[in-house]
């Protein structure tokens, strides 16, 4: 965490941050904000499948106490208008989602929303963009490929970890990678460096029949599942018996995949639009880098930093793929 603060130059002095108190590696977010000198950190928590609110409180405060910042973090189970009126940066974190119009309307006009991932990955169900546009509140994505963040470099190892969990060696496996987005380079290089033979397809219908050990789905989510009945039938026609369809990113109709005789991993489906494996499966470092970068991007925009194509921050706009970068 100290290295991440040094590398990103995160400085939240004189700013108030509203984020989450969470469990596991995600307990770092509120603590990073406090370590970066935030005037006050409010950390909202609730019970989820990842842990109870009591566990989130305990883990966040224990970590904060270990670095001497527990006195600057207030754990909340209710967010009042008074807290929102003080907020400079609010994070698009799991416990806070969705950020509703009613919540956004209570924020100061100078507040910013930290998306906590790249702008092109924006999910409309996470927060009310119309309310942000009406209030002039920017939604700030983070450039995960910035050298001080470099989270994209973890995507290949993360996919390898997911394949290992499914029972495949990766080494000497023949992999079909379905990918239509910026993850493609990191995934392909990560799989190849682990000894896999990788063929990339940007569209399901271009996949051809071969002795695939796994078909990896890394397709940008849309309103409908990226793998529905026609796609499942095509995959079944192209894959040998026993091949695994691995859900890295992109929603799939698991019923039709099973009906076509295909195995699916992970066995528990992720939430709509979410990845099939969390960065925390590789340990805390990628999570720390991503959260520090997300806060840094929001801080830069909150302090009216000038835009730059190679910077930390990306501004989400209504036009798909329309992104402005800032240093």
Say how far apart CA 182 and CA 205 lie, in whole Å.
20
Q: Does the pLDDT of residue 320 top 60, yes or no?
A: no
Tens of pLDDT, residue by residue over 243-270, are 999 999 999 999 999 999 999 999 999 9
Check whether residue 86 and residue 139 sit in a common domain. Answer: yes
Check whether residue 24 and residue 130 sit in a common domain. Answer: yes
Q: How far apart are the first and last CA of the chain?
A: 21
Residue 80: band (very low, low, confident or very high) from pLDDT cuts 50, 70, 90: very high
Check whether residue 61 and residue 165 sit in a common domain. Answer: no
Of 263, 280, 297, the one marking the end of a domain is: 280
- Give Cβ neighbours of residue 103 (< 8 Å, ≥ 6 apart): 79, 84
Supply 40's token pair: 């006050």
Place of tokens 């509140």: 137
Supply 171's token pair: 């080494």
Check whether residue 43 and residue 57 sit in a common domain. Answer: yes
3-state secondary structure 107-140: CCCCCEEECCCCHHHCCCCCECHHHHHHHCCCEE
Check whether residue 93 and residue 195 sit in a common domain. Answer: no
Q: Residue 46: give the domain boundaries.
A: 2-149+282-326
Pick from 67, 141, 175: which is nearest to 293 by CA?
Answer: 141
Strand partners, 217: 178, 247
Check whether residue 163 and residue 137 sit in a common domain. Answer: no
Q: What pLDDT was estimated at residue 101?
A: 98
Check whether residue 253 and residue 317 sit in a common domain. Answer: no
Check whether residue 49 and residue 140 sit in a common domain. Answer: yes
The pLDDT of 266-277, averaged and rounded, is: 95
Q: What pLDDT was estimated at residue 307?
A: 59
Say how far apart CA 111 and CA 104 lie, in whole Å.
9
Quote the Cα angle for 304-94-283, to 5°.
95
- CA 234, 238, 243, 248 dihedral sign is negative
Check whether residue 94 and residue 187 sit in a common domain. Answer: no
User: What counts of helices (H) and strands (E) characterise the chain?
Assistant: 11, 13
At 269, which CATH number?
3.40.50.720
Strand partners, 19: 43
Check whether residue 275 and residue 286 sit in a common domain. Answer: no
Supply 32's token pair: 């990073």
Q: Per the structure, how many domains does the chain have?
A: 2
Q: Does the pLDDT of residue 327 top 80, yes or no?
A: no
Check whether residue 132 and residue 167 sit in a common domain. Answer: no
Looking only at the bridges linking them, the beta strands covering 112-114 and 244-249 are unpaired
Supply 49's token pair: 């499948």
Check whether residue 168 and residue 132 sit in a common domain. Answer: no
Q: Does the pLDDT of residue 322 top 90, yes or no?
A: no
User: If residue 215 lies in a helix (H) or strand (E), which one and from where to where?
Assistant: strand 214-218
- Give Cβ neighbours of residue 16 (< 8 Å, ≥ 6 apart): 38, 39, 40, 41, 42, 86, 87, 88, 89
The pLDDT of 101-112, averaged and rounded, is: 98
- Please give the mean pLDDT across all residues of the chain: 95
What percent of the chain is predicted at pLDDT more than 90? 93
Say how far apart CA 71 and CA 94 lie, in whole Å.
24
């Amino acid at each position: 965490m100290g290295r991440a603060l040094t590398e990103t130059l995160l400085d939240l002095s004189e700013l108030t941050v509203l984020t989450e108190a969470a469990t596991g590696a995600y307990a770092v977010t509120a603590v990073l904000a406090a370590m970066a000198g935030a005037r006050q950190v409010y950390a909202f928590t609730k019970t989820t499948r990842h842990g109870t609110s009591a566990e989130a409180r305990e883990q966040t405060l224990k970590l904060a106490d270990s670095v001497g910042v527990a006195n600057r973090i207030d754990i909340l189970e209710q967010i009042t208008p008074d807290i929102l009126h003080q907020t400079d940066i609010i994070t698009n974190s799991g416990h806070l989602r969705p950020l509703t119009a009613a919540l956004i309307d209570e924020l100061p006009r100078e507040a910013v929303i930290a998306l906590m991932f790249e702008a092109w990955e924006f999910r409309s169900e996470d927060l009310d963009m119309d309310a942000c546009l009406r209030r002039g509140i920017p939604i700030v994505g983070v450039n995960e490929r910035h050298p001080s963040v470099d989270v994209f470099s973890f995507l290949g190892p993360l996919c390898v970890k997911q394949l290992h969990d499914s029972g495949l060696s990766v080494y000497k496996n023949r992999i079909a990678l379905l990918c239509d987005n910026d993850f493609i380079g990191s995934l392909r290089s990560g799989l190849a460096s682990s000894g896999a033979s990788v063929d990339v397809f940007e569209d399901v219908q271009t996949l051809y029949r071969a002795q695939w050990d796994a078909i990896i789905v890394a397709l940008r989510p849309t309103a409908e599942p990226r793998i529905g009945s026609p796609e499942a039938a095509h995959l079944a026609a192209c894959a040998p018996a026993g091949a695994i369809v691995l859900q890295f990113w992109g929603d799939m109709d698991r019923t039709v995949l099973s009906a076509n005789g295909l195995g699916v991993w992970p066995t528990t489906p992720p939430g709509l639009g979410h990845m099939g494996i969390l960065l925390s499966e590789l340990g805390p470092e990628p999570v720390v880098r991503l959260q520090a970068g997300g806060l840094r991007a929001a801080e830069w925009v909150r302090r009216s930093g000038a835009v730059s194509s190679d910077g930390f921050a990306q501004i989400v706009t209504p036009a798909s793929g329309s992104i402005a970068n800032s240093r």
